[in-house]
Structure 1
C-alpha cells in the first residue's frame, strides 16, 4: 500500500530534483520516493549532519562524503562478490589449483558489471 505525501521545497531544490530525475530517466515522484526511503533509514545523527551541511551550503564536504560513500560501497560490493564466489567453490580448491588472486579478479569483474547496472 502506498501513501501520497506532499512537501514544499525552494525553487533551487525543485530545479535540482527535476534535473536529477531527468538525468536518471525517472519521474520526479520516483526520485522523491527513493530519496525519502534512503533518508528515513539513516541514523538521526547522519540526517542531522547532512541537513546541517546543506544549510551551510558546504558542497565541498558533501562531495567528499559522497566520494567516501562510493568507495565504501565499492568495498562492500567487492566483499559480497568475493563471498559469493567462495560460496560457489569455483576457485581455490586443490582440484583446480586456483589462487586467491583469481578469485579476487573474478570478484572485481563482477563488481564492475554490477556497478554498470546501477
Structure 2
C-alpha cells in the first residue's frame, strides 16, 4: 500500500472516488458489482495511458515555456525528422 497507513489509503481513495463525476462513479460501481475484471483492468490501463499523455503534455508545455530548446533557426526539416524516425524504428526492430 505504498508505505501508507490503511486510514490514509482509505481517505485518499474516498477523496478520489467522490471527486469523480457521478456517471463514472456509477459505472465503476456497476463493474464491481458484476465482477467484470476484464473491463476493470482494461479501463485501468486506458486511464493510466490517459494520465501518461496528460503528464507528457504538461511536461512539454513546461519545457516549452522555458525557451531553452532551440528556436526558429534550430527547427529540423521534415527529412531530418523522417531520417531520425527510421533510425529509431530500425533500432527497435533489432532489439526484439
CA-CA distance at 1:98 after TM superposition:
5.9
Q: Distance in 1 between matches of 2:34 and 2:72?
A: 58
* Greater relative CO, 1 or 2 (CA 8 Å, sep 6+): 1
Q: How many corresponding residue pairs?
A: 77
Where in structure 1 are there 5+ consecutive unaligned residues?
1-20, 102-118
SS of residue in 2 equivalent to 1:26: coil
Q: Distance in 1 between matches of 2:17 and 2:61?
A: 28
Give structure 1 regions of 4+ aligned residues with deviation exceeding 3 angstroms.
none
Aligned to 2:44: 66
Where in structure 2 are there 5+ consecutive unaligned residues?
82-96
Larger Cα-atom Rg: 2
TM-score scaled by length of structure 1: 0.61
Q: Please, what is the CA RMSD of the aligned residues?
A: 1.6
